[in-house]
Structure 1
């Protein structure tokens, strides 16, 4: 993710615009985000002490955004909302993996710990906004082309409308986002407040 972040900054410095940025970094993004599926396995086997459900929802939603929205609908790749969620994801993952790395080395600087449990307060809503705005921008193109949709009659006798599916996905953020957000807030209180309690005992 640090490689991706550097590539994004370099592109913007050289071009002076966000247009074309997604196309420039998409191979790196697809590689890292797709392999994030391993995180779900790591949670399941106990390598990382995080909720399998929370990690699964986050990883699957990002993979969906990368492959079935940004990759598949090229007309929306230059939207500001795409850059918004890319920046948010990059900062979030650099912070998170820094936390894991220093934690494994048993030398966790307080700033990294503080960043891990405070940056999300702003980044999480910003990332969700970027994702929702990107899906919304994709709706007209999906409706016009009928992409990923299956119309009747067909030999399977099944219909599927990707346009309405995306609308359902957008509405699914309403119950899911608060649950994930408050889960992180609970973790924040437990980790940061726990440290304060230890310091008082000392």
Structure 2
């Protein structure tokens, strides 16, 4: 990010030869001061850039390891139990921690160390948090649905691939198979993840309607009515315009990256 241009000042009128020809050493001193200031600014920029790279690398390593831990926990549970029933509850704490920690990515965009849209990143992260906190965590009756396991598996594979891609890119040692996985696996995983999320929300609708979960009925002291049942229906309908945009965006990114063109990376 380049610094904004300094405001130009009007040139002083030349009233004498002394004004036109500065005293010996004056120009050299000014040039030295300017050079020193420029070097200091460059050093500050390099320091900020280095610190940002160290932080982003550390963050992506932690998130890669976190999702790997989740993957191993799911595999171990299924091997031991031979069933998916109870799997969500066994990994819920770890899942909630690492998925909530992803809110940091919105901060990365807000302060400018990652060049992508705050709104896009915020929507993507918050949609995941909604599924975790207000669907699977808030409605226990759906935790053993096959659709929950479907989107959990998709999320886990996607996030391991995504965060490892960012980590190796920051370290300037990106293996081709990770690059390939990043821009090919989503072709199948994204639609499967959407199917899992939609079927989970759909499975939650009867329980929400019967219990009135998170709903507010009139009359109340706030004089506000809110029906979580219809809110979930609206959320499901929102997938119709949003999913194609994100999916085709990734397809465009895939074509550019696999053809070796330079692009601005955006979180998916």
TM value normalised by structure 1: 0.94
Structure 2 residue runs without a partner (length 5+): 1-66, 262-268
Q: What CA distance in whole angstroms lies between the structure 2 residues aligned with 1:124 and 1:49?
A: 23
Residue 116 of structure 1 corresponds to 182
Residue 104 of structure 1 corresponds to 170
Residue 210 of structure 2 corresponds to 144
Instruction: Check if 1:131 corresponds to 2:197.
Output: yes
* Aligned length in residues: 195
Residue 47 of structure 2 corresponds to none
Q: What CA distance in whole angstroms lies between the structure 2 residues aligned with 1:47 and 1:14?
A: 43
Residue 47 of structure 1 corresponds to 113
Pair 1:51–1:187, CA change in 2 (3 A): farther
Say which SS state the counterpart of residue 259 (structure 2) adopts: helix
TM value normalised by structure 2: 0.71
Structure with bigger helix share is 1
Out of 138, 159, 180, the position equivalent to 2:246 is 180
What does 1:28-47 align with in structure 2 at a 5 Å threshold?
28-47=94-113
Residue 7 of structure 1 corresponds to 73
Structure 1 residue runs without a partner (length 5+): 196-202
Residue 198 of structure 1 corresponds to none
Report the Cα offset of residue 185 of structure 1: 1.0
Is contact 1:150-1:160 (8 Å) kept?
yes
Q: Deviations over 1:19-69 (max 9, x none)?
A: 000000000000000011011111233333444333222111010000000
Residue 200 of structure 1 corresponds to none
**Which one has the largest radius of gyration?**
2
Q: What CA distance in whole angstroms lies between the structure 1 residues aligned with 2:110 and 2:157?
A: 25
Report the Cα offset of residue 187 of structure 1: 1.0
Is contact 1:102-1:109 (8 Å) kept?
yes
Out of 62, 66, 73, the position equivalent to 2:132 is 66
Q: Deviations over 1:151-186 (max 9, x none)?
A: 001111110000000000000000000111111111
Q: What CA distance in whole angstroms lies between the structure 1 residues aligned with 2:254 and 2:225?
A: 44
Q: Deviations over 1:66-104 (max 9, x none)?
A: 000000100110000000000000000000011011111
Out of 21, 44, 57, the position equivalent to 2:123 is 57
CA RMSD after TM alignment = 1.0
Is contact 1:54-1:180 (8 Å) kept?
no
